[in-house]
A and B are shown apart, each in its own frame.
Chain A
Amino acid sequence: MHRFAKPSVFLKLASAIMPWAIGITVVTLAVGLYLALVASPADYQQGDTVRIMYIHVPAAWMGLFCYVGMAICGAMSLIWKHPLADIAARATAPIGATFTALCLITGSLWGEPMWGTWWVWDARLTSMLILLFLYLGYMALVNAFDDSERGSKAGSALALVGVINVPIVKFSVDWWNTLHQPASVARMGGPSIDPSMLWPLFLIAIGFTGYYVIVLIVRVRLELNERRIRALQLGGVGQSVADQHHLAVPAKQAGAGE
């Protein structure tokens, strides 16, 4: 695992993964959406509104998945001080926040016809909202410092503290008697959903994961390039200062003394 922490190795690996990720995302989302919106049957109770589920549930999974990923990256950056883990955690936060927001929005759109209300203060909904707040807090904290490394470290610590919310989201429907339906896919005794509805659900979940991988790679590349540009600029500034003062300071040294 430590091998991949080197940016150059990561970039090479990322370039190899990228076309596959794009291919898988496009295919699974296309097939999944076709199955979900056209081919799958309408629910006997809910009618066509059940189709909101195919976006809502995978988005919720991704919201949790991204948070766990972010916390693991945070732990790695605190323990082994991998700069790449920092960058990955930072890059994951907005993606996870978007999926969480998507889950909440589709959920409220689904709740209106089914429960007759856009929002209820139910354990599952509330814990998901707290997840969104944790993402927002993380992003605010990471960007609040002049020294970006300090921001990443503080953010990693916060992400680890916030992990406590993840099992609460997962088990909220079991612990409290709520309006939100209990677990029907990942449960003891197999899923209680018909395969014709389960397949599109999984395909879209895979598509969302692929999308996450693509955006993650793009954002990490962007950050690495930004850092390289900054280093070059600082090196350039050091060089020109040295020239002005007729000092024979090598550019590298001047850059290091920023």
Chain B
Amino acid sequence: MKILIAILARDLRLALRQGADSIMVVAFFIVTTTLFPFGVGPEANILARIASGVIWVSALLAAMLSLERVFQTDFEDGTLELLAISPVPLELVVLGKVLAHWLTTGLPLIIAAPLMAVMLNMNSAGFGTLMLAMLVGTPALSLIGAIGAALILGARRGGVLVSLLVLPLYIPVLIFGAGAVEASLLGLPAGEHLQIMGAILLLTLALAPLAAARALRLAVE
């Protein structure tokens, strides 16, 4: 637990000192969302209809965009090798880094999401569910993304590659996340969708650190 907190604190401090990272992610999210009204036209009811999907897709892309830095800098300056040969289990390192990634990208996205929902004219009945669904969904995105981020270490064109690897695995979160918001907009209970998202989160929480740690070992071997 102490080690987890130490890794988390280190990554958070690095993210804060290098500044801009979290702000960039949120800016990307807002700009991407803003593109849709230009693409499909500004009719209020069309925007309200597609709002939940647009917000989820933009959040997915924003979370993916920041994946590269989870392990890349540590891999380049050799920190990762030191962590790998230290007695600390690598799974714990992964967990700490994922938590830091979620705090610096997932959390700001959750806070920015209702703002974009207002701009896309979404019915206010869906706001609570949207934030709740993102609260359950974005940690799963960070966990799945960590596998991809660990696999591409040392690859050519890693940034493009990670999208090809991670986006197909993001689809279940997208389906149930957007489904939960849709359900509550129609006045139906969103509990089922949220429970499935909870199951996805628990499953990835159990398996993703193992897979990512395995991939890290392959990278530093």
Contacts and interface: CB of A to CB of B under 8 A. Distances in A.
> Is B one of A's binding partners?
yes
B156 A133 contact: no
A145 interface: yes
B156 A158 contact: no
Contact of A136 (B147, B156, B164): B164
B151 A158 contact: yes
What is the size category of the interface that chain A forms with chain B?
Answer: 20 to 34
A154 B168 contact: no
B4 to A, nearest CB: 23
A157 B161 contact: no
A89 to B, nearest CB: 14
Contact residues of A: prevailing secondary structure: helix
A161 B212 CA distance: 10
Contacts of B164: 133, 136-137, 140-141
Interface of B: 147, 151-152, 154-158, 161, 164-165, 167-169, 171, 211, 214-215, 218-219
Interface string A13-25: 0000000000000
A137 B168 contact: yes
A140 B157 CA distance: 10
A97 interface: no
Nearest to B153: A154
B172 to A, nearest CB: 9
A235 B197 CA distance: 55
A91 interface: no
B168 A133 contact: yes
Contacts of A160: 211
Contact residues of B: prevailing secondary structure: helix
6 contacts: A133-B164, A137-B168, A151-B155, A157-B218, A158-B151, A165-B168
B218 A153 contact: yes
B158 A144 contact: yes
A144 B168 contact: no
Contacts of A78: 214
B67 to A, nearest CB: 14
A162 B156 CA distance: 22
A208 to B, nearest CB: 25
B171 A130 contact: yes
A150 interface: yes
B154 A150 contact: yes
B154 A157 contact: no
Contact of A141 (B161, B171, B219): B161
Nearest to B175: A126
Given A130-B168, A134-B168, A136-B164, A154 B218 contact: yes
A161 B156 contact: no
A144 B215 contact: no
A129 B218 CA distance: 29
Residue with the greatest number of chain A CB neighbours at <10 A, chosen from B156, B157, B168:
B168
B76 to A, nearest CB: 16
Given A137-B165, A157-B147, 13 more contacts: A78-B214, A126-B171, A130-B171, A140-B161, A141-B161, A141-B165, A144-B156, A151-B155, A154-B215, A157-B211, A157-B214, A158-B147, A162-B169
A145 B154 contact: yes
A126 B218 CA distance: 32
